[in-house]
Protein backbone atom coordinates (compact mmCIF):
# COMPACT_ATOMS: atom_id res chain seq x y z
CA UNK A 1 0.00 0.00 0.00
CA UNK A 2 1.36 3.39 -0.96
CA UNK A 3 0.51 6.78 0.53
CA UNK A 4 0.47 10.43 -0.44
CA UNK A 5 1.82 12.73 2.26
CA UNK A 6 0.50 16.26 2.47
CA UNK A 7 0.69 18.97 5.10
CA UNK A 8 -1.20 21.89 6.53
CA UNK A 9 1.43 24.22 5.05
CA UNK A 10 5.01 24.28 3.90
CA UNK A 11 7.61 23.60 6.59
CA UNK A 12 5.34 21.47 8.81
CA UNK A 13 7.39 18.27 8.64
CA UNK A 14 6.22 16.42 5.53
CA UNK A 15 9.73 15.21 4.73
CA UNK A 16 10.40 14.24 8.35
CA UNK A 17 7.21 12.17 8.52
CA UNK A 18 7.64 10.73 5.03
CA UNK A 19 11.08 9.47 6.04
CA UNK A 20 9.72 8.26 9.38
CA UNK A 21 7.08 6.21 7.54
CA UNK A 22 9.77 4.75 5.28
CA UNK A 23 11.85 3.74 8.31
CA UNK A 24 8.81 2.26 10.04
CA UNK A 25 7.75 0.21 7.01
CA UNK A 26 11.33 -0.93 6.38
CA UNK A 27 11.67 -2.04 10.02
CA UNK A 28 9.05 -4.71 9.42
CA UNK A 29 10.91 -6.00 6.37
CA UNK A 30 9.10 -4.17 3.58
CA UNK A 31 10.74 -2.87 0.42
CA UNK A 32 10.08 0.85 0.51
CA UNK A 33 10.74 3.79 -1.79
CA UNK A 34 10.40 7.51 -1.22
CA UNK A 35 9.11 9.64 -4.08
CA UNK A 36 9.19 13.43 -4.36
CA UNK A 37 7.49 14.22 -7.69
CA UNK A 38 8.21 17.94 -7.61
CA UNK A 39 10.87 19.80 -5.62
CA UNK A 40 11.65 23.51 -5.67
CA UNK A 41 15.06 24.57 -4.39
CA UNK A 42 18.09 22.53 -5.45
CA UNK A 43 21.85 22.61 -5.11
CA UNK A 44 24.56 22.92 -7.74
CA UNK A 45 24.02 19.25 -8.66
CA UNK A 46 20.30 19.89 -9.25
CA UNK A 47 19.52 17.86 -6.14
CA UNK A 48 16.95 18.79 -3.50
CA UNK A 49 17.54 18.15 0.22
CA UNK A 50 14.07 16.69 0.81
CA UNK A 51 14.42 14.30 -2.12
CA UNK A 52 17.88 13.25 -0.92
CA UNK A 53 16.44 12.51 2.53
CA UNK A 54 13.70 10.35 1.00
CA UNK A 55 16.26 8.51 -1.10
CA UNK A 56 18.42 7.85 1.97
CA UNK A 57 15.43 6.57 3.96
CA UNK A 58 14.39 4.15 1.20
CA UNK A 59 15.35 0.50 1.60
CA UNK A 60 15.89 0.14 -2.16
CA UNK A 61 18.85 1.39 -4.18
CA UNK A 62 17.40 4.25 -6.20
CA UNK A 63 18.87 6.82 -8.53
CA UNK A 64 18.15 10.46 -7.76
CA UNK A 65 16.02 10.75 -10.90
CA UNK A 66 13.81 7.88 -9.78
CA UNK A 67 13.03 9.70 -6.54
CA UNK A 68 12.62 13.21 -7.95
CA UNK A 69 11.63 13.63 -11.62
CA UNK A 70 11.12 17.41 -11.37
CA UNK A 71 13.60 19.63 -9.50
CA UNK A 72 13.88 23.39 -9.95
CA UNK A 73 16.52 25.87 -8.73
CA UNK A 74 14.30 28.44 -7.03
CA UNK A 75 12.66 27.63 -3.68
CA UNK A 76 9.30 29.14 -4.59
CA UNK A 77 5.84 27.78 -5.46
CA UNK A 78 6.32 24.80 -7.82
CA UNK A 79 4.40 26.22 -10.78
CA UNK A 80 6.41 29.44 -10.54
CA UNK A 81 9.71 27.58 -10.12
CA UNK A 82 8.87 25.54 -13.22
CA UNK A 83 7.91 28.67 -15.15
CA UNK A 84 11.21 30.34 -14.25
CA UNK A 85 13.01 27.23 -15.52
CA UNK A 86 11.02 27.23 -18.78
CA UNK A 87 9.36 23.91 -17.93
CA UNK A 88 5.76 22.77 -17.55
CA UNK A 89 5.13 20.08 -14.92
CA UNK A 90 3.43 17.17 -16.70
CA UNK A 91 1.52 14.55 -14.72
CA UNK A 92 2.23 11.85 -17.33
CA UNK A 93 5.95 11.93 -16.50
CA UNK A 94 5.22 11.77 -12.76
CA UNK A 95 2.78 8.87 -13.15
CA UNK A 96 5.28 6.90 -15.22
CA UNK A 97 7.99 7.38 -12.57
CA UNK A 98 5.62 6.44 -9.77
CA UNK A 99 4.45 3.25 -11.48
CA UNK A 100 8.04 2.14 -12.04
CA UNK A 101 8.72 2.48 -8.31
CA UNK A 102 5.41 0.88 -7.29
CA UNK A 103 6.20 -2.16 -9.43
CA UNK A 104 9.30 -2.83 -7.31
CA UNK A 105 8.27 -1.70 -3.81
CA UNK A 106 5.85 -2.87 -1.15
CA UNK A 107 5.17 0.76 -0.26
CA UNK A 108 5.91 4.02 -2.03
CA UNK A 109 5.70 7.10 0.17
CA UNK A 110 4.90 10.07 -2.06
CA UNK A 111 5.64 13.49 -0.60
CA UNK A 112 3.68 16.41 -1.99
CA UNK A 113 4.93 19.97 -2.38
CA UNK A 114 3.75 22.64 0.04
CA UNK A 115 0.11 22.39 1.05
CA UNK A 116 -2.60 20.29 -0.56
CA UNK A 117 -3.87 22.89 -3.05
CA UNK A 118 -0.53 24.32 -4.18
CA UNK A 119 -0.53 24.81 -7.98
CA UNK A 120 1.77 22.58 -10.03
CA UNK A 121 1.02 24.05 -13.44
CA UNK A 122 -1.46 26.49 -14.98
CA UNK A 123 -4.45 24.25 -14.28
CA UNK A 124 -3.53 21.46 -11.86
CA UNK A 125 -2.67 21.34 -8.16
CA UNK A 126 -1.03 18.94 -5.74
CA UNK A 127 -4.55 17.71 -4.91
CA UNK A 128 -5.08 16.84 -8.58
CA UNK A 129 -1.83 14.86 -8.54
CA UNK A 130 -2.95 12.90 -5.48
CA UNK A 131 -6.21 12.20 -7.32
CA UNK A 132 -4.36 11.02 -10.45
CA UNK A 133 -2.17 8.73 -8.32
CA UNK A 134 -5.34 7.51 -6.55
CA UNK A 135 -3.57 7.12 -3.22
CA UNK A 136 -4.84 7.42 0.34
CA UNK A 137 -3.61 10.62 1.96
CA UNK A 138 -1.77 11.07 5.25
CA UNK A 139 -1.97 14.59 6.63
CA UNK A 140 0.90 16.11 8.63
CA UNK A 141 -0.46 18.77 10.98
CA UNK A 142 2.16 21.22 12.17
CA UNK A 143 1.06 21.87 15.75
CA UNK A 144 1.26 25.63 16.19
CA UNK A 145 -1.14 28.52 16.45
CA UNK A 146 -3.56 28.44 13.51
CA UNK A 147 -3.26 24.72 12.84
CA UNK A 148 -6.91 23.89 13.58
CA UNK A 149 -8.21 25.92 10.65
CA UNK A 150 -5.47 24.72 8.32
CA UNK A 151 -5.99 21.07 9.27
CA UNK A 152 -9.77 21.09 8.95
CA UNK A 153 -9.68 22.95 5.63
CA UNK A 154 -7.16 20.41 4.30
CA UNK A 155 -9.28 17.47 5.42
CA UNK A 156 -12.26 19.05 3.66
CA UNK A 157 -10.18 19.47 0.49
CA UNK A 158 -9.13 15.81 0.63
CA UNK A 159 -12.78 14.83 0.95
CA UNK A 160 -13.83 17.20 -1.84
CA UNK A 161 -11.39 15.42 -4.16
CA UNK A 162 -12.98 12.09 -3.19
CA UNK A 163 -9.78 10.78 -1.68
CA UNK A 164 -9.38 8.79 1.51
CA UNK A 165 -7.65 10.42 4.45
CA UNK A 166 -5.91 7.35 5.87
CA UNK A 167 -4.71 9.17 8.98
CA UNK A 168 -3.02 12.25 10.33
CA UNK A 169 0.07 12.98 12.40
CA UNK A 170 0.45 15.74 14.98
CA UNK A 171 3.97 17.13 14.54
CA UNK A 172 4.75 19.48 17.42
CA UNK A 173 6.49 22.51 15.92
CA UNK A 174 5.96 24.84 18.87
CA UNK A 175 6.74 23.09 22.15
CA UNK A 176 5.29 26.04 24.06
CA UNK A 177 2.01 26.04 22.08
CA UNK A 178 -0.81 26.97 24.48
CA UNK A 179 -3.33 24.15 25.08
CA UNK A 180 -1.38 21.73 22.88
CA UNK A 181 -3.19 18.61 24.10
CA UNK A 182 -6.58 20.30 23.87
CA UNK A 183 -5.83 21.29 20.28
CA UNK A 184 -4.94 17.68 19.45
CA UNK A 185 -8.15 16.50 21.13
CA UNK A 186 -10.14 19.05 19.12
CA UNK A 187 -8.74 17.64 15.89
CA UNK A 188 -9.43 14.07 17.03
CA UNK A 189 -13.06 15.04 17.54
CA UNK A 190 -13.36 16.58 14.08
CA UNK A 191 -11.21 14.35 11.86
CA UNK A 192 -12.70 10.93 11.19
CA UNK A 193 -9.33 9.44 10.21
CA UNK A 194 -7.15 8.04 13.00
CA UNK A 195 -4.37 9.96 14.71
CA UNK A 196 -1.31 7.92 13.72
CA UNK A 197 0.99 9.51 16.25
CA UNK A 198 2.17 12.60 18.08
CA UNK A 199 5.76 13.53 17.25
CA UNK A 200 7.33 15.63 20.02
CA UNK A 201 9.19 18.82 19.19
CA UNK A 202 12.66 18.03 17.84
CA UNK A 203 15.28 20.81 17.78
CA UNK A 204 17.18 18.60 15.31
CA UNK A 205 14.62 16.60 13.27
CA UNK A 206 15.32 12.86 13.39
CA UNK A 207 13.16 10.66 11.18
CA UNK A 208 14.09 7.40 12.91
CA UNK A 209 13.19 8.89 16.29
CA UNK A 210 9.92 10.17 14.82
CA UNK A 211 9.14 6.68 13.46
CA UNK A 212 8.98 5.36 17.03
CA UNK A 213 5.93 7.56 17.63
CA UNK A 214 3.92 6.20 14.68
CA UNK A 215 1.30 3.46 14.96
CA UNK A 216 1.36 1.62 11.63
CA UNK A 217 -1.22 -0.84 12.90
CA UNK A 218 -3.81 1.91 12.53
CA UNK A 219 -3.02 2.10 8.83
CA UNK A 220 -3.25 -1.69 8.59
CA UNK A 221 -6.65 -1.52 10.27
CA UNK A 222 -7.82 1.08 7.75
CA UNK A 223 -6.75 -1.19 4.88
CA UNK A 224 -8.62 -4.13 6.41
CA UNK A 225 -11.77 -2.05 6.83
CA UNK A 226 -11.56 -0.90 3.21
Alpha-carbon torsion, ordered 185, 190, 194, 199, to 10 deg: -40
The terminus-to-terminus CA distance of the chain in angstroms comes to 12
CB 90 within 8 A of CB 37: no
36 is catalytic: yes
d(CA 3, CA 111): 9
Among residues 36, 92, 123, 221, the one annotated as catalytic is: 36
CB 219 within 8 A of CB 167: yes
Instruction: Name 179's Cβ contacts closer than 8 Å, sequence gap at least 6.
Output: none
Instruction: Name 139's Cβ contacts closer than 8 Å, sequence gap at least 6.
Output: 6, 7, 8, 151, 154, 155, 158, 165, 167, 168, 169, 193
CB 110 within 8 A of CB 133: yes
**What are the catalytic residues?**
36
Amino acid sequence: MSYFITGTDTGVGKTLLSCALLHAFAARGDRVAGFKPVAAGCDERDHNDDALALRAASSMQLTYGQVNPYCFPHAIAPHLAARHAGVRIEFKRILTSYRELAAQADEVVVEGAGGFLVPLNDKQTTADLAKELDLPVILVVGMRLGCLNHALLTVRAIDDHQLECAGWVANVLDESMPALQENIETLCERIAAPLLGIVPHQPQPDAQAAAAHLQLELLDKQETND
